[in-house]
Each structure stands twice: as C-alpha cells, then as structure tokens.
Amino acid sequence: MPKTLICYLSCMLLMYSYAQAQNPNEATHTPNEMAWQVYEQAIEKNQLISQGKVYGYLYPQASGSHYIMDEKEEGRLVYDGLTYKNMALYYDMYNDLIFFSTKQDGLQRYLILDQQKISAYQIGDLHFIHLFSSPDTMVKKGLYQLAFEQGAIRLLVKKRKELIRDAGQMAGQKRYKFVNADVHYLFKQEGLFIIKRKKDLLKAFGNHSELKSFIKKEGIRLKANRGDFTSQLVRALMYKESSS
C-alpha cells in the first residue's frame, strides 16, 4: 500500500476516533470498517488510472496533426460521476478518441477513455459536453464542443479530421495529410441549422441586415474547414445576441 495512502488512512482514523468521542451515539461503523471504507473510496477514485486501452494511433506518412492540440494541455474531466482536475488530456479528432497520459511502474503510458462514461471535459479553453440523447435526427449522440450558448441559441461543434491523399507531394515525401472537417450545429427556437458558410448563418437569422453588415465590416470569413471558422462564427453570434 502506498505510504501516502497509509498516512491518509491514519489521519481519517484519528478524525473518526475524535468524532466518536464527541458523538458516541452516532457510531455506525467500527474503526476497521471506517478504514476499509476510506481505502475503497481512494482506490475507486484511481480506477481511471489503472483501466483503459493503450493509445497507439500514429501516422508517420501523414503531414499535419490529428490532435485538437499538439502540445499537452491540462484539463478537467467528469468521468463515471467523478471529477478529475489538472489531467493531461488529448483528443484524437480522426479516430474520435480521448486519452490521457499517466505513469505506471515508472513508464509513461497513454490510455484511452471510455466515452460512454464521459459527461463533460475541458482541454485548454475548449469545453465539451456529451449528448447522451440526440435532440435531432441529424445530430448523432457523442461528444461535442460547446462553442456558444446564450438564450435560446446554442452552437455545438463536432470536431473532426479527415485523412486525404496529398497529390502535390513528391516521391519520398509524406503522401497523406490531415484536414479539418468540423461540423457546426446551430440550435435555435426555429430549429437546427448546419453552418458551413456565411450564407448558412444569414439564412438561419432570416438574412438579418445588421448581422450581414457586421460580418462585412469586421472582415469575418466564414468558409468551411478554415482553422478559425469556429472562432469567427462565435464572433458573429455574440454580435447578433448583443444587438438583439
């Protein structure tokens, strides 16, 4: 048993003994039972570390990245009812897998999480939620970035990468590349709109003239699969809601 856990159990037993002395009529467990309860809870909270399949999806023949962020980012995870903070999380957008790094027996390992147990998570400043039931037949169950939510308007993004052949590469160079393929779902009281370009957004708001002028004035570019498409779309939505 790890020394830190032994110290933790000892402290809990002291606290329990003190509580028993103060409230003798409230005793429901013996010290041994209390210690075992604490130990089981500590082990349960660390099951996430000891379970999970090892991640190993590498693509040496492809250029670009299939991760949402190339560098390790600490995040927050709600998994199987428990909240984990300051975890090093990764999101593989090509395989739609979330994994984390941990050390086991002195070795660095990358373990895949069971998506059905993920309620929500955060990587950097990106927030994700799990749709366990689909609000529309066009939207599948799963994990989505919650990019914007205000009033009756909600923007969910299904983060995706596709692997395509890079026809411009010479012999001996990488033959494939990863490209953005995010899908943006805009929910309003009037229904669901899939936003791929500027005209889709304007259509969703009835060709709102002020919104159209703002997009033009600010030089907002809404073109499918641009790396900044989501942030540009959020800028337009924030303006629309603030001017309503």
pLDDT for the residue numbered 211:
92
Q: Is 232 exposed, middle or buried (0-12, 13-18, 19+ CB in 10 A)?
A: buried
Please give the share of the chain, as a percent, with pLDDT higher than 70. 76
pLDDT tens figures, 136-195: 788 999 999 999 999 889 999 999 999 998 877 666 677 899 999 999 999 998 899 999
pLDDT tens figures, 155-168: 999 999 999 988 77
Residues contacting residue 56 through CB under 8 Å, at least 6 positions apart: 110
pLDDT tens figures, 38-71: 434 443 444 554 456 889 888 988 988 999 887 7
Q: Is the pTM of this model over 0.85?
A: no
User: In the predicted model, what is the mean pLDDT of the chain?
Assistant: 80
pLDDT band at 100 (very low <50, low <70, confident <90, very high): confident
Supply angle C-alpha 162, 166, 169, rounded to 5. 155
